[in-house]
Amino acid sequence: MTRQLPKLNRVVVKIGSSSLCGADKKIQESQIIEVTRQVAVLVHDGLEVVLVTSGAVAAGMGLLNEKIASLDNNQAAAAIGQPILMRYFQQYFQAYNLNTAQLLLTHDDFQSRRRYLSARNTINTLLNSQIIPIINENDSVSTEEIRFSDNDQLGALCTNLVSADLYIILSNVDGIANKNPLKHSDAKFLDELSLPDLEQLKKELSREKVRGMGRGGIATKLEAPAMAARYGVPCVIANSRRENVLASVVRGENIGTIIYPERNELNAWRAYIAHALKPKAVIVIDQGAATALRQNKASLLASGIVSTRGDFKRGDGVVCCLADGTEIIRGIVEYNQDEIQKIAGCKSGDIEAILGYKHRRSVIHRENMVAASERL
């Protein structure tokens, strides 16, 4: 029995440090050789492949005098290890007459619409030239404010960025289990999950943190396939050590766990707002505004605003909450924070009289917002 997959033209493959490193946490060259071989098979079969990889910190840590884990040391190790990692990939892809290109991204690259589009155009140009984009987080400059919680999420964002047909996460486990497989010996791996079932499992595992699972806990690992599913893209999580795992996945063989999207819930722009845009501040709204946003999918008007928290400018991402902190929507604001303080609670028709000008009737237009329920 094979799985139902869409017609595959472009896939994103993410491989993590746990799949590239041995028990000593050092990069295993043999694993890179195997990954490049499998990706080369897909490319020569006519697929476009975007490779998202971790491993720069692991590749560079052995050459760093400081061995204590800290943000500064990890940044330095990444600066050392990234060219080492790329040299491996370039060397072994060239054995299959394939060229590679490196893109190092931070959350800021997804938050800026201009940089987001620039990255997309660059990747499309590379793929059209039959060059394999190899993407990693720019760990050497990433701070806590702009780093991804997990490279799986970077891969999910790239899936939306390049309009991929399938997202494959190569892990050190056989897929998603009904329990944490690193803590429970009776955990059973699941063949498939719907998006609602995945969201329920995320809630159940939300407080578990496990060694070897990268940044964040195991629930963080489930966020990436949920993101892809919300973009309308199926995601398969499979064991990187399985023989010819990539070819098996794209053939639709029943390995690992597949998460099927129910439908394309978020278009590219709203997916960007939902998962790529990092809110800079909070707008507190009243219950009437919350009801209009939830039930009528209306734009946010100044009349429903109670107060603001934090500094922001027009074009920034913000979260809109009730006074108790309940998130209602997040979106892109049309006015600066000081302007909103002046017009909060006022009618839209009074904005020009108060400010002397008016950008738009709404503070956040309905096309530039995503409900909290769409981000779960």
118 or 146, which is more confident?
A: 118
Q: Is residue 1 part of a domain?
A: no
Torsion of CA 343, 346, 348, 351, to 10 degrees: -40
Number of independent structural domains in the chain: 2
Is 294 in the same domain as 208? no
Q: Is residue 220 part of a domain?
A: yes
In a shared domain, residues 183 and 303: no
Where residue 107 falls among pLDDT bands split at 50, 70, 90?
confident
Residue 323: what pLDDT?
Answer: 95
- Identify the residue whose tokens are 């476009």: 48
The predicted structure's pLDDT at residue 226:
87
180 and 51 inside one domain: yes
Lowest mean pLDDT among 116-120, 249-253, 275-279, 326-330: 275-279
Q: State yes or no: pLDDT of 214 exceeds 60.
A: no
Task: Work out the angle at residue 59's Cα, subtended by the Cα atoms of residues 56 and 61, and round it to the nearest 5 degrees.
Answer: 100
Q: If you average pLDDT over residues 326-338, what whole number do you get?
A: 94
Q: What is the pLDDT of residue 219?
A: 58
The model's pLDDT over 126-142, given as tens digits with 9 standing for 90+, comes to 999 999 999 998 866 65
The answer to the question of residue 3 being in a domain is no
What pLDDT score does 141 carry? 67
Same domain flag for 82 and 134: yes
pLDDT tens sequence across 145-159: 434 556 888 999 999
- Residue 190 domain-assigned? yes
On the question of pLDDT at 47 being above 90, the answer is: yes
Say how far apart CA 36 and CA 16 lie, in whole Å: 14
Q: What is the CATH number of the domain that holds 39?
A: 3.40.1160.10
Percent of the chain clearing pLDDT 90 (strictly above): 52
Q: Which of 147, 127, 334, 149 is nearest to 227 (CA)?
A: 149
**Start-to-end Cα distance in the chain:** 31
Neighbours of 159 (CB within 10 A): 28
Residue 178 · residue 187 · CB < 8 Å: yes
Q: In 10 A of CB 272, how many CB atoms?
A: 22
The range of the structural domain enclosing residue 102 comes to 10-271
Predicted confidence at residue 208, as pLDDT, reads: 58
Pick the residue with more confidence: 30 or 65? 30
Q: Is residue 5 part of a domain?
A: no
Q: Averaged over 194-210, what is the pLDDT? A: 76
Q: Are residues 20 and 151 both part of a single domain?
A: yes
Amino acid identity for residue 302 in this structure? A
pLDDT interval class at 300 (50, 70, 90): very high
CATH number at 354 reads 2.30.130.10
- Does residue 252 register a pLDDT over 50? yes
Given 271, 304, 325, the domain boundary residue is 271
pLDDT for 60: 79
127-131, 135-139, 329-333, 345-349 — which is least confidently predicted? Answer: 135-139
Which one of 214, 244, 271 terminates a domain? 271
Higher-pLDDT residue of 321, 359: 321
pLDDT recorded at residue 149: 55
In the prediction, which pLDDT does 68 show?
63
> What whole-number distance in Å separates Cα of residue 337 and Cα of residue 339?
5
Distance between CA atoms of residues 206 and 184, nearest Å: 16
